[in-house]
């Protein structure tokens, strides 16, 4: 074997859901697999999305050759606008994936300068020292690939997100043959999706939903509203087919739903019968039992079309008694409250609500491999090293245990988290330190607005204890305090003795001012800090609360 070293460095996605991003480095060449985002936890107040910290890539910008995309879900492409604003490198992806990327980059004004290179499943291409082989896999999205990266030390395979679907709706089969061929060649390492490792057996085929859709579409007495991820082209296709077979016209409501269907139609993934579509404005022109509405907002996003329709606040999508609403998606961890709030509103409108309730046949199937499919791929590839990726720590650990139990199919199992450097050379593999990783919080979907930890801390502080604004009027010429300080409070409750508390706070401020020299009073920075400290001490002592205190000096 050559004496060089191969390094694999996950920059996100290991130990967390989302932010999937992995750097592969040999010598002076780096390729990046995926560039995902994640949605913020509840404690990240006012943050819209979270993207990985790419300090390592920026420090090695002259070595980064390309970003390789496995598929078009947000947790794999959502960070591209922020990464491309720092590193303008070529992006390789399949036709459908790049169609999503184009829309995202156009929104951020980056499309004109972007170098997007289309790859086809089965294709091989060179990037720097690496040769990449894109292998067709099945998932809840169309046009997805796993990547076999040929390096001077051997082949590493990154599965991307996948399930082994024997009957995909687009008839593009999982390329098991390609995985089996690599199994004959002594694969160096397999990096495999851990999302569904807790589920036994096999993940049902996408076509398993068809029977339930046929039953629902046939029985629904009035309008039928169906909400799924706008990227679930297989699911949308099945819904359109079921609507057509039951004599229902299809209306698309929601920006993301319209954009996804338009892209899928242009690329031939959805074949709409002539006259099957109507505009949202035409919904009321047809008898209720002749309409199906495909509506976005399946995760209860506050301003989504479904959330607005659920509270009767949508121009076209009106949900009335006896209408049927189908939520054909899983509940993403952390979204439970907002989704069940929408479901409650739908029940208040006396709608029939059908969601993923464990019934058979199902209204939703996962896009990720369960235990038997994970074992199947491991048995086919038979890697020297196995590394679980994509998932929280418990899932990575369970996946590692599953692989360890497969003696003979796997050489050695290694556990990694984001930031770990996995190094291969002719002597084997080992962890070789860490690089700086973390998360970058983006506010208001604006490219420049990165939210610092300090801002998040202040927001949390305000949300818990409120703020107190002491306003002090000082004569600029004499340096004298002109009147009794005003106290403004927001989000802070002083308790039953409100008036007495305000009076005592004023006295505390006046004592501070009286104890200060004319020089201190003339220096507004100093006097503000003295007032803040003394008032903070008094409030903490009398209420055991710590509001944000921001003294304001008015010059008279």
425 known member of a binding site: no
Predicted confidence band at 441 (pLDDT cuts at 50, 70, 90)? confident
364 is in an annotated binding site: yes
Q: Are 246 and 290 in contact (CB under 8 A)?
A: no
Residue 366 annotated as lining a ligand binding site: yes
Ligand-binding annotation for 443, yes or no, is: yes
Instruction: Confirm whether residue 161 is marked as ligand binding.
Output: yes
Helix (H) or strand (E) holding 450: strand 450-451
368 is catalytic: yes
218 labeled part of a ligand binding site: no
Residues 158-168, mean pLDDT to the nearest whole number: 96
Higher pLDDT, 2 or 246: 246
Which pTM was predicted?
0.81
Q: Are 421 and 4 in contact (CB under 8 A)?
A: no
Q: How far apart are the C-alpha atoms of 404 and 401, rounded to whole Å? A: 5
Average pLDDT over the chain reads: 89
Burial zone of 459 (CB within 10 Å; 0-12 exposed, 13-18 middle, 19+ buried): middle
Q: What pLDDT, on the 0 to 100 scale, is given for residue 448?
A: 47
Q: At what angle do helices 95-107 and 255-266 cross, to 10 degrees?
A: 140
* The predicted structure's pLDDT at residue 282: 94
Question: pLDDT band for position 147 (50/70/90)?
Answer: very high
- The lowest-confidence range among 190-199, 266-275, 314-323, 444-453 is 444-453
pLDDT tens-digit map of 266-305: 999 988 778 889 999 999 999 999 999 999 999 888 789 9
**Catalytic annotation, pick one of 368, 399, 420, 534:** 368
Least confident range of 135-144, 246-255, 340-349, 503-512:
503-512
- Report residue 399 as tokens: 């996946």
Exposure string (b/e) for 526-542, b if CB count within 10 Å is 16 or more?
A: ebbebbbebbbebbeeb
Residue 225 CA to residue 553 CA, distance in Å, equals 57
pLDDT of residue 228: 93
Task: State percent of the chain over pLDDT 70.
Answer: 93
* Residue 1 reports pLDDT greater than 50: no
d(CA 386, CA 8): 13
Residue 337 or 163, more confident: 163
Strand partners, 116: 91
For residue 58, the model assigns a pLDDT of 94
Query: In the numeric block, which tokens belong to residue 440?
Result: 């970058």
458 a known binding residue? no
Query: What do you get for the CA distance between the two ends of the chain, in Å?
Result: 80
CA distances from residue 144 to 51, 61, 237, 257, 355 in whole angstroms, order as listed: 22, 27, 17, 20, 26
Residue 390 is labelled as binding a ligand: yes
Going by C-alpha positions, the residue among 152, 144, 87, 100 that lies closest to residue 119 is 144
Count CB neighbours of 398 within 10 A: 16
pLDDT classification of 490: cutoffs 50, 70, 90: confident
**Tokens encoding 310:** 């659920």
Report residue 197's pLDDT band, with 50, 70 and 90 as the boundaries: very high
Residue 12 forms beta bridges with which residues? 21
Which of residues 62 and 497 earns the better pLDDT score? 62
Which tokens is 341 given? Answer: 């709030």
pLDDT in tens, 503-533: 888 889 888 888 888 878 877 888 888 888 8
What would the two tokens of residue 8 be?
A: 């694999």
DSSP string of 274-343?
Answer: TT-EE-GGGGGGS-GGGEEEEES-TT--TTSHHHHHHTT--SS----TT-EEEE-SPPPTT-HHHHHHHH
Give the span between the Cα atoms of 545 and 540, in whole angstroms.
5
Given a cut of 80, whether residue 462 has pLDDT beyond it is no
Q: With pLDDT > 90 as the criterion, what percentage of the chain qualifies?
A: 66
Domains, the chain, ranges and CATH?
6-201+366-450 (3.60.15.10), 208-354 (3.40.50.10710), 466-555 (3.10.20.580)
Contacts of 142-145 with CB under 8 Å at 24 or more apart are 142/96, 142/170, 142/172, 142/233, 142/234, 142/264, 142/269, 143/71, 143/72, 143/94, 143/95, 143/96, 143/97, 143/172, 143/269, 144/70, 144/71, 144/94, 144/97, 145/70, 145/71, 145/94, 145/119, 145/121
* Alpha carbon distance 27, 152 (integer Å): 10
Worst-scoring range by mean pLDDT, 243-257, 280-294, 328-342, 410-424? 328-342
Length of the chain: 556
Look at residue 145 in the predicted model and tell me its pLDDT: 98
Catalytic residue selected from 34, 53, 193, 534: 193
The per-residue pLDDT for 46 is: 60
Q: What is the pLDDT of residue 233?
A: 93
pLDDT of 325 over the 70 cut:
yes
């Amino acid at each position: 074997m050559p004496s060089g070293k191969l390094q694999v460095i996950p920059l996100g996605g290991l130990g967390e859901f989302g932010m999937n991003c992995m750097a592969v480095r040999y010598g002076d060449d780096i390729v990046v697999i995926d560039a995902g985002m994640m949605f913020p936890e509840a404690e990240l107040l006012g943050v819209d999305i979270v993207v990985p910290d790419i300090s390592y890539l920026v420090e090695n910008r002259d070595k980064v050759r390309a970003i390789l995309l496995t598929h078009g879900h947000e947790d794999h492409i959502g960070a591209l606008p922020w990464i491309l604003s720092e590193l303008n490198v070529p992006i390789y992806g399949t036709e459908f994936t790049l169609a999503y990327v184009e829309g995202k980059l156009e929104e951020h004004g980056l499309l004109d300068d972007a170098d997007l290179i289309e790859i086809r499943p089965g294709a091989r291409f060179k990037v720097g020292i690496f040769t990449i082989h894109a292998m067709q896999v099945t998932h809840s999205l169309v046009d997805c690939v796993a990547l076999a990266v040929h390096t001077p030390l051997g082949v590493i395979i990154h599965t991307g997100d996948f399930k082994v679907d024997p009957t995909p709706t687009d008839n593009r089969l999982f390329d098991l043959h390609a995985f089996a061929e690599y199994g004959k060649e002594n694969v160096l390492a397999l990096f495999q999706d851990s999302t569904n490792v807790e589920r036994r057996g096999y993940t049902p085929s996408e076509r398993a939903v068809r029977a339930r859709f046929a039953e629902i579409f046939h029985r629904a007495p009035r309008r039928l509203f169906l909400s799924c991820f706008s990227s679930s082209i297989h699911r949308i296709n099945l819904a359109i087919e079921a609507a057509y077979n039951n004599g229902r016209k299809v209306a698309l409501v929601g920006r993301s739903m319209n954009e996804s269907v338009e892209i899928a139609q242009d690329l031939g993934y959805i074949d709409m019968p002539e006259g099957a579509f109507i505009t949202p404005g035409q919904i009321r022109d047809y008898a209720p039992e002749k309409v199906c509405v495909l509506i976005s907002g399946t995760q209860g996003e506050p301003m989504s079309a479904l959330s607005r329709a659920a509270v009767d606040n949508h121009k076209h999508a009106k949900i009335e008694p006896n209408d049927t609403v189908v939520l054909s998606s899983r509940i993403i961890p952390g979204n439970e409250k907002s989704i069940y709030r929408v479901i409650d509103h739908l029940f208040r409108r006396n709608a029939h609500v059908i969601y993923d309730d464990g019934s058979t046949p199902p209204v939703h199937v996962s896009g990720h491999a369960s235990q038997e499919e994970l074992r199947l791929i491991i048995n086919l590839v038979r890697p020297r090293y196995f590394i679980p990726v994509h998932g929280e720590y418990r899932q990575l650990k369970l996946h590692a245990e599953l692989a360890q139990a497969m003696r003979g199919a796997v050489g050695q199992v290694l556990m990694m988290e984001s930031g770990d450097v996995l190094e291969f050379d002719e002597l084997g593999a080992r962890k070789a330190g860490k690089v700086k990783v973390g998360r970058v919080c983006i506010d208001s979907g604006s490219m420049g607005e990165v939210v610092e930890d300090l801002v998040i801390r202040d927001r949390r502080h305000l949300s818990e204890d409120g703020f107190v604004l002491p306003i002090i009027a000082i004569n600029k010429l004499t340096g004298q305090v002109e009147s009794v300080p005003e106290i403004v409070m927001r989000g802070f409750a002083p308790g039953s003795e409100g008036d007495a508390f305000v009076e005592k706070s004023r006295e505390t401020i006046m004592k501070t001012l009286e104890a200060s020299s004319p020089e201190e009073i003339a220096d507004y920075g100093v006097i503000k800090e003295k007032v803040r400290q003394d008032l903070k001490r008094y409030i903490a002592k009398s209420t055991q609360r710590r509001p944000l205190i921001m003294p304001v000096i008015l010059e008279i």
